[in-house]
Every structure is written in C-alpha cells, then in structure tokens.
C-alpha cells in the first residue's frame, strides 16, 4: 500500500521497524511529513586516464536514482515514488540502491512517469529497476555484488535486474568499452572499488567516466546574473550552427563574467551529448574564438575523452 493511504499509526510502525532493521543501510524518514534524504554513496568524476585495476565496472544508466527500503521506492531527495503495486510487490524485501530506467535516450519519458502523483500503468510497463548495491549487507563491494547478482537470478520479476559488473584489465580496454556504450546511446561507465565497504556521501570509491565533446556557438546576448553574480553576466545566450539557442552559464571565470564576450563572438564550449530536444547536455564554456569567424562557425563536436569538468548526476 502507498504510504499516503496508510494510517498514521501504521506508517509510524513501519518507519520504526525499518530504522531498527539490520538491513537499514539507508537513512530512514522521521515521523514528520517532510521527507529526509537517504544516505547514499555519490560518485566523483573519473580522470581521463584512470586505471581500472581494483574496480568493478558497469554501464552508467541515464535514469532516476531510486532507493528501496523493502516497502517503498524513494528518490534521492527522500520523496516516495508512486509506483504501481504490481511493480513494488515483486521487488525483494531487502534494502537496495539502484536506478529506475526506461531505456537509452528516454530520460524525459521516465522522469515524467516518476513525477506523477498517480502512476500510469502503460508508462511503468517500460520501466525497470536496476539495482547496483546492497546498502545493508556488510563486506566489500565485490561480495555485495555477488549477493546482488544471485538475488537477480532468484527474483521472478522481469522489471528487476542486478546491474552487471565487470573487471577490466587495461585502460585501453576501458576506453573501448566507453566508446562502445556511447556509440549505442549510453551515458558512460561507473567504476566502483571492489574492496570498498558501503559508505555515504561523495567518495572516490565510486567514479563516473563519461565522454565530452567540443562545439562552437555564436553569442547573441549576455544575460544578467543573480545572487553572487548580480551586477555582472550570469549566462550567455548562444546559437548553434543549426539555429538552436540555449543559455551557457557555467565554466566562466570572474573576469569573464565582468567582461563577457560581445554579441557576434564565437565561443567554444564542452558538452556531454544532446537531450531529446537536441540541446547540448551539461554545456560548459571553454574559450572565446575569433569574432571574425562567427559567420562560418560550425559544430566541431568530437570525442574529447573525459574531464573532471561538468555537472554531477
């Protein structure tokens, strides 16, 4: 039963039982109505030349982070997800850390389905829960993964899957896998230290490896900033060679915000592929090109390996 349909007494009893359970590797929600974000392990950006030795590696899925406490699916912020009863009833009764996923290049559809107050059955037919860790299980990640892989075989639910983890011997092999995943529409790879105990917060035991691309755009205008950028440029409105406009707001130094590139200038930026609507994802300013080249600016998108610049998931 969804928590909003439970009586107050029933919900308090459930919360108390979850807090006392040995598998409660996720922070429980207090009795107050406001959700409490669960304690999760968060990834850092991987260096372009990261050595995969000592890591277990999996694909990075473009989904919605979701934790399962044995009763309820919750977002990273702690909000309950209104999933259909048939979806949650067949999930295992253990704490899980994972991702709701609807397939490559379908994040917008997935996000819309997950945000609904009442689930739409047709949308959830295409969603899977991909589990990548067991927060309540002691021991190193390699042992937790073995248990999770066994759980994936034991649970009779087509929408539940344990994320496959692999050992990768060389940097070249890691790069080949990254390129193959991206070519098929994937986001990148995740590297998890095989010997790491489960921890919370952002940690180098979990690293994300994603490609980046360089491109160019023409500056249309400087948009005034707010907050700490009040009184100076907050973002540039730019236009791509295909006519798409977007705001470029990260990657600038204070000096560049004080004296932004004038309209007509061509700027280079780095991004991580495109959204379903065709706009650059996680675009970050790199440099100003020659203003005289504005008329001939073309998309210079190319694989540029991986950088520690960019936004966290």
The residues annotated with a catalytic role in the active site are 60
Long-range (24+ apart) CB contacts under 8 A made by 254-261 are 256/285, 257/225, 257/229, 257/232, 257/233, 258/232, 258/233, 260/219, 260/222, 260/233, 260/236, 261/219, 261/236, 261/288, 261/291
CA 60 vs. chain centroid, Å, equals 8
| H-state helical runs in the chain | 8-20, 85-89, 107-115, 121-124, 141-154, 171-183, 254-258
265 bridge partner residues: none
Distance, CA of 76 to CA of 39 (rounded, Å): 9
Structure tokens, 133: 């860790």
Query: Residue 256: helix, strand or coil by DSSP?
Result: helix
Pairing of strands 266-271, 213-224: antiparallel
Count the alpha carbons within 13 Å of 211 in the hemisphere toward its beta carbon: 24
Structure tokens, 207: 């690293």
Contact assessment for residue 38 and residue 136, using Cβ atoms and an 8 Å cutoff: no
Contact assessment for residue 187 and residue 61, using Cβ atoms and an 8 Å cutoff: yes
Distance, CA of 116 to CA of 120 (rounded, Å): 8
Neighbours of 31 (CB within 10 A): 9
């Amino acid at each position: 039963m969804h928590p909003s349909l439970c009586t107050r007494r029933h919900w308090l009893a459930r919360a108390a039982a979850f807090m006392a359970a040995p598998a409660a590797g996720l922070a429980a929600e207090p009795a107050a109505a406001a959700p409490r974000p669960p304690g999760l392990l968060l990834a850092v950006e991987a260096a372009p030349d990261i050595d995969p030795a000592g890591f277990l590696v999996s694909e990075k899925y473009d989904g919605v982070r979701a934790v399962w406490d044995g009763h309820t699916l919750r977002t990273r912020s702690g909000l309950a997800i209104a999933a259909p009863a048939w979806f949650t009833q067949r999930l295992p009764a253990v704490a899980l850390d994972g991702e709701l996923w609807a397939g490559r290049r379908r994040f917008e559809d997935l996000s819309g389905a997950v945000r609904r107050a009442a689930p739409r059955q047709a949308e959830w037919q295409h969603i899977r829960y991909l589990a990548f860790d067991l927060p309540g299980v002691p021991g190193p990640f390699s042992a937790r993964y073995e248990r999770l892989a066994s759980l994936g075989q034991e649970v009779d639910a087509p929408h539940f899957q344990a994320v496959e983890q692999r050992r990768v011997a060389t940097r070249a092999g890691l790069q080949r896998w990254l390129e193959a995943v991206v070519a098929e529409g994937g986001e990148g790879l995740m590297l998890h230290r095989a010997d790491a105990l489960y921890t919370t917060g952002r940690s180098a035991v979990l690293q994300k490896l994603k490609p980046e691309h360089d491109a160019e755009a023409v500056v249309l205008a400087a948009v005034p900033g707010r907050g700490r950028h009040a009184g100076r440029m907050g973002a540039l409105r730019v236009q791509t060679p295909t006519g798409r406009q977007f705001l470029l707001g990260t990657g600038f130094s204070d000096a560049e915000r004080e004296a932004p590139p004038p309209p007509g200038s061509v700027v280079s930026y780095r991004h991580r592929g495109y959204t379903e609507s065709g706009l650059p994802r996680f675009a970050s300013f790199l440099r100003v090109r020659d203003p005289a080249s504005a008329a001939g600016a073309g998309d210079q998108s190319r694989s540029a390996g991986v950088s520690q610049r960019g936004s966290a998931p």
